[in-house]
Amino acid sequence: MSVLNKAGYKHEALYTALRAEIGADLRPHDPLPSERELVARFGVSRATVRQAIGRLEEEGLVYRAQGAGTFVADPATISKSLALTSFSEDMRNRRLTPDSRLLDLTVASASVQVARDLAVSPGADVVHVRRLRLADSLPMCLEEVWLPAERIGDLDASVIAGSLYEALAERGVRPHHADQVIAATVVDAEQARLLQVAPYSPALRVDRVTYDESGTAVERAESIYRADRYDFRITVTRRTP
């Protein structure tokens, strides 16, 4: 690697060198050296460093955390099966440690949209939960959930510290299937701060209504996923005439 310390190393060579290190020496979520360190090490300009890192980011090999630096991406966190799983179950399946930071837990009045999705009367009591979801201590998703209070009963912070679906199952409510809409969006200033990305960064918004086996709605959820760490992949089959 000593040849890489020569001054004047251009973008392509720097990109190739960093990609090789990611594959050999750096593990998922390890930090990349700072811009200053890369400038000194490879004898290139900051613009060249930013161009090379930008290319790695576009390819999903690294991700940025605002105020913390650039880190090696984990391929295990990038693909999402469309099986109905909770966030905690999904992360455990990828050998990652799920965690939550509770932002809000209240009993609220159902809005018209929430009432329609949960098949309750507008103004009916619903349990409103807002959480920041993490994987290996890094922000992955902002989650907002509404649950029919009449069926769910009271929830406290200790109950929803882990998997919400597991907590529901303990109360005899078992999610079975869901209708889900996935759309591109950008994060606002508050979402960016919580997810540790720049304001107006791209994100994936997932709106989901979950039903039990009888077809009764048991959850309405809105989730904002970091687009640099997560995507959804599905397999489609063409119907033959």
Mean pLDDT (whole number) for 64-74:
80
Return the residue matching tokens 């998922």: 28
User: Are residues 166 and 96 part of one domain?
Assistant: yes
Is 161 contained in some domain? Answer: yes
**Higher local confidence (pLDDT), 38 or 229:** 38
Residue 34 CA, chain-centre distance (Å), reads: 24
On average, the pLDDT of the chain sits at 84
Mean pLDDT (whole number) for 60-77:
76
User: Are residues 174 and 141 part of one domain?
Assistant: yes
Q: What is the pLDDT of residue 2?
A: 40
Instruction: Name the percent of the chain lying above pLDDT 90.
Output: 40
End-to-end CA distance of the chain: 58
Which of the residue ranges 25-29, 184-188, 222-226 would you say has the lowest mean pLDDT? 25-29
Nearest to 7 by CA among 36, 45, 56: 45
H or E element in which residue 103 lies: strand 98-109
Predicted confidence band at 4 (pLDDT cuts at 50, 70, 90)?
very low
Q: What is the pLDDT of residue 93?
A: 66
User: Are residues 150 and 125 part of one domain?
Assistant: yes
Which domain, by its residues, includes 22? Answer: 6-72
d(CA 220, CA 179): 10
User: Are residues 188 and 136 part of one domain?
Assistant: yes
Q: Flag whether pLDDT at 204 surpasses 90.
A: yes
Tokens of 203: 């994100």
Number of domains in the chain: 2
Is 49 contained in some domain? Answer: yes
Q: What is the pLDDT of residue 54?
A: 86
Question: What residues does 215 pair with on adjacent strands?
Answer: none
d(CA 226, CA 198): 11
CATH number reported for the structural domain that contains residue 212 in this entry: 3.40.1410.10
What are the tens digits of pLDDT across the range 171-190? Answer: 888 888 999 999 999 999 99
Tokens of 38: 């890369």
pTM over 0.75: no
What are the tens digits of pLDDT across the range 72-106? Answer: 877 655 555 566 777 877 777 666 788 899 999 99
What are the tens digits of pLDDT across the range 113-136? Answer: 999 999 999 999 999 999 999 988
DSSP assignment letter at 161: S
User: Are residues 139 and 32 part of one domain?
Assistant: no
Burial 205-220 (b: 16+ CB within 10 A, else e): bbebbbbbeeeebbbb
Torsion of CA 162, 157, 222, 56, to 10 degrees: -50
Instruction: Name the percent of the chain lying above pLDDT 70.
Output: 87
Residue 111's φ and ψ, nearest 5 degrees, are: -70, 175
